[in-house]
Amino acid sequence: MNRNPVSESRFARAALITIALLFLALFILLPLFAVFSEALKEGFDDFAEAVSTPDALAAIRLTLIVAAISVPLNMVFGVAASWAITKFDFRGKGFLITLIDLPFSVSPVVSGLIFVLLFGANGYLGPWLAEHDVRIIFAVPGIVLATVFITFPFVARELIPLMMEQGKEDEEAAISLGASGWQTFWHVTLPNIRWALLYGVLLCNARAMGEFGAVSVVSGHIRGITNTMPLHVEILYNEYDFVGAFAVASLLAGLALVTLVIKTVLEWRFNLHHAGARH
Amino acid sequence: MNFHKLIAAGLALAMVPALAACSGGNDAEAGTVITNVSYDPTRELYQAINPAFAADWKAKTGETVSFRMSHGGSGKQSRSVIDGLDADVVTLALAYDIDVIAERTKRLPAQWQAALPDNSSPYTSTIVFLVRKGNPKGIRDWADLLKPGIQVVTPNPKTSGGARWNFLAAWAYGKKAGGSDAAAEQYVRQLYAQVPVLDSGARGSTTTFAERGIGDVLIAWENEAFLAVNELGEGKFDIVVPSISVLAEPPVAVVTENAKKHGTEAVVQAYLEYLYTPEAQTAIARNYYRPRNPEVAAQFKDQFPELELVTIDSAFGGWTAAQKRFFDDGGVFDRISARK
Amino acid sequence: MTSPPVRPPRRRNVIPGFGLTFGISALWLSIIVLIPLATIFLRSAHMGLEQFIAVGLSPRALEAYRLSFGTAAAAGVVNAIFGVVVAWVLVRYDFIGKRLVGAIVDLPFALPTAVAGIALTAIYAPNGWIGQLFDPLGIRIAFTPIGITIALIFIGLPFVVRSVEPVLADLGRDVEEAAATLGASRWQTFSRVILPAIGPALLTGFALTFARGVGEYGSVIFIAGNIQGSTEIAPLLIVTQLEQYNYDGATAIAVVMLLVSFGVLLGINLSQVASRRRMGA
């Protein structure tokens, strides 16, 4: 057997794989396993019962609505921002990227607080809203706003490095061949970034469904009306209904896992289909 | 291009839950809706009382009533009401949290506590100890908590309303035993030095003690201690009642302006008055709160041993003064917990 | 010699849509991020500099910052090291279950932070699966800074792996082959060729882990002991200010934390843009 100059010895390979898997097992699989084992501790029937109470169903519905509104908004923004940042040169680009990253670094407590300070009864816009009977905080719009804030960077963050790497030659070529801006985006850029985009959307969606801290501040915790799944988990946990809490939590984790696995499978099949057809 | 179909399919899929959700509506609500903003441990209580009141009200007036319940930390709930959460009634852990709502929003009168009997508190509770089965460390009273090696679990008074009751109960003992404020401060200083974890809420502390196995004694509300004994592991814990404690009076109030706006004044007034009826008082006692009604109290007297109870008003000059003196920035709690 | 220029002049950009995309970005950024965030600066400005310093830079707050920034940096370092190993293994090696491993890396983004906190506390408490192994040795994990760091490692892991992975995948093997034919050992190739190439991405991953860790509340609050001066995190101080109905004080602490995190992120992003420009991309 010939020793490959750009690969490691068998031993090093095995060691690295072992380290990586151990690390992931310890820090990610173990907590995940703890969630599922708590959820199923009393058997599957209790699990099924916990996730089908009216309050749980209302929470699931609200979580899906919030994700369905906030993810597309951030997707459009993410694509637009990455296009502006990677296809053009302008001053203050690093500053703009940092502003996009900003929601990552804001404490979830503060992310909720800012919307209370803005739209709450004593907030800057609160009195005007109250006069016109518009409800933002302690209702669905507030929850959506907080979620959009929290998940704001995900799509853009995923796209910017990739589009920077890809440069703009493809687009320039398409334009010089007479394609319009939209055609270029649709037929040249989009196929190039599709997996990163899908990926960003999935992450954004997972985070949107899982956000707890910020939403907790703006929700008002009204059962069956403004409780999202993570808030419902907290309530059940506080009621010492540990099985119920972990059942709803494992539903969230399961949802995320399923989307991620589907994405992996799609990606794999798509690549098989188009192998060789692309440059 | 396959990919475009993929995107279209993805978008269509994303819309499904939204549409399903919109058409779902909320059939649980009919007739008059009462929003009750409460604190964490009262869920079981109001789950028992709300349907009973709804039936009673329907029989009396023919009107259908339904409820929106919101539970959370007492302070946080109070802030939500201040910031615009549309509560018809607030049922919180301590009078201070309602005082602040009255002061900041003027949506209920400053004298709200005189509106209903017994300081507007339909039930009381007190602070007791929860110890491990058989009381292996021999904890009988507050003095035993300072024995070397004893670990005490209690939540953080800076973030939890329940924790403030605990602190004041300890203070009341320290003052009685030592005879001065200085002695009381010394007592709580030593006590809190033996706390390994200050959870942010009362239920967090119970979990830390019961599920995580931390500490030898949990300082808790009496109702919470009963709940832990009965729900978190029968035969795993014992309740120890100390010689002296505080009289906890969780108050209820109508947020008058909100009720006016919703046109629910009459029904919410009746709702809060209903809490004082023998039926509601029995539900209260069954949920381990001490009932006000003497007959009901007599019926449950084995459940609630007598002990010396000080009130916040008489011992500490009311909640506003106590909050400022003990728990605000630079107050006694900050002083005793600062590292030397 | 009158041949027309082969390429358009470098200066003129033929790609359209700058106005539209930049406009959408700026508008959305302002509505969702900038205007709401401005409120915390406005509110903290209410209180005057002296009060701001008294709350935002009190000794207690400084200790909490030290804990939050310290544990976040420690988590960032651990993730930087192991994140590269995980990314490397995922990109370069084939093994059974690789796709599944790739998928679970993102789990920390999806699991509600409070759930993660509860699960981690249950595992690392003295009577938990792992905690009980360490308890006899006198090592406490939950309710100490170690526990906080573990929670932050969990929260931040995807940032490093996902930043490094695409760059590693993109990195041509030809450079490594060149290095090898020039006689470099595998380790030399890694440290001199690969590491510099993934450096910027790694730094970004570190910075994001750090920034996210500093503000994290939901997962940390369960596993931190909340004892002043030893396990009291900065976001808890914000909550205690709110409990006193002191919104100004809460925003003062928020502003201090935000400025530090923003500074770290800005420094790293600027150095990235600059290095890209240097490389002439």
How confident is the model at residue B13, as a pLDDT? Answer: 47
| Beta pairing, strands B244-248 & B308-310 | parallel
List pLDDT tens digits, range B210-252.
989 899 999 999 999 999 898 887 889 999 999 999 999 999 9
Residue of A68, A240, A270 with shortest CB distance to B14? A68
- At residue C188, does pLDDT exceed 90? no
Domain ranges of chain A: 8-40, 45-277
- At residue A28, does pLDDT exceed 70? yes
- At residue A99, does pLDDT exceed 60? yes
Q: Residue range A8-17: average pLDDT?
A: 86
How confident is the model at residue C230, as a pLDDT? Answer: 85
How confident is the model at residue C176, as a pLDDT? Answer: 82
Lowest mean pLDDT among B233-242, C91-100, C122-131, C201-210: C91-100
Inter-CA distances, C100 with A213, B175, C2, C143, Å: 29, 62, 60, 32
For chain C, positions 108-167, list CB contacts with chain A under 8 A: 108-116, 118-120, 122-123, 129-130, 150, 153-154, 157-158, 162-163, 166-167
Helices (H) and strands (E) in chain B, counts: 16, 11
Domain ranges of chain B: 32-121+250-275, 124-248+307-337
- At residue C9, does pLDDT exceed 50? no
Helix (H) or strand (E) holding A27: none
Q: Residue range A172-183: average pLDDT?
A: 90
ipTM of the complex: 0.84
Lowest mean pLDDT among B2-11, C169-178, C240-249: B2-11
Question: Most C CBs within 10 Å: which of B205, B214, B336, as the mutation test of the C interface?
Answer: B214
How confident is the model at residue B16, as a pLDDT? Answer: 44
Question: Which residue type, as a one-letter code, is found at position C123?
Answer: I
List pLDDT tens digits, range B298-317.
999 999 999 999 999 999 99
Q: Phi/psi of residue B248, each to 5°?
A: -85, 125
CB atoms within 10 A of CB A73: 18
Mean pLDDT, chain B, whole residue set: 89
- At residue B114, does pLDDT exceed 60? yes
Share above pLDDT 90 across residues of chain C, in percent, rounded to a whole number: 36
Specify whether the CB–CB gap between C236 and A89 falls below 8 A: no
Q: With bands split at pLDDT 50, 70 and 90, how would you rate the model's confidence at B253?
A: very high
CB contact under 8 A, C281 and A167: yes
- At residue C278, does pLDDT exceed 50? yes
- At residue A278, does pLDDT exceed 50? no
Q: Residue range B255-280: average pLDDT?
A: 95
Higher pLDDT, C6 or B212: B212
Which residue's structure tokens are 């503060």? A110
Separation of alpha carbons C75 and C99, rounded Å: 25
The domain B32-121+250-275 having CATH identifier 3.40.190.10: the answer here is yes
Q: Residue range C24-30: average pLDDT?
A: 92
The answer to whether C178 contacts chain A (CB < 8 Å) is no
Q: Which domains does chain C have, with CATH numbers?
A: 39-169+197-280 (1.10.3720.10)
Q: Which CATH architecture has domain B124-248+307-337?
A: 3-Layer(aba) Sandwich (3.40)
Q: With bands split at pLDDT 50, 70 and 90, how would you rate the model's confidence at A272?
A: low
Helices (DSSP H) in B2-152: which residue ranges?
A: 2-24, 43-61, 74-82, 95-105, 117-120
The answer to whether C274 contacts chain A (CB < 8 Å) is yes
How confident is the model at residue B2, as a pLDDT? Answer: 52
Q: Which CATH architecture has domain A45-277?
A: Orthogonal Bundle (1.10)
How confident is the model at residue B1, as a pLDDT? Answer: 42
Contacts of B among chains (3+ CB pairs under 8 A): A, C
Q: With bands split at pLDDT 50, 70 and 90, how would you rate the model's confidence at C113?
A: confident
Specify whether the CB–CB gap between C264 and C211 falls below 8 A: yes
List pLDDT tens digits, range B317-331.
999 999 999 999 889
Residues of chain A positioned with their CB less than 8 A from the CB of C211: 101, 104-105
How confident is the model at residue B297, as a pLDDT? Answer: 95
For chain C, positions 216-245, list CB contacts with chain B under 8 A: 221-222, 225-230, 236, 239-245
How confident is the model at residue A5, as a pLDDT? Answer: 55
How confident is the model at residue C275, as a pLDDT? Answer: 74
How confident is the model at residue C190, as a pLDDT? Answer: 85
How confident is the model at residue B29, as a pLDDT? Answer: 59
Share above pLDDT 90 across residues of chain A, in percent, rounded to a whole number: 38
Higher pLDDT, A215 or B338: A215
Specify whether the CB–CB gap between A95 and B79 falls below 8 A: no
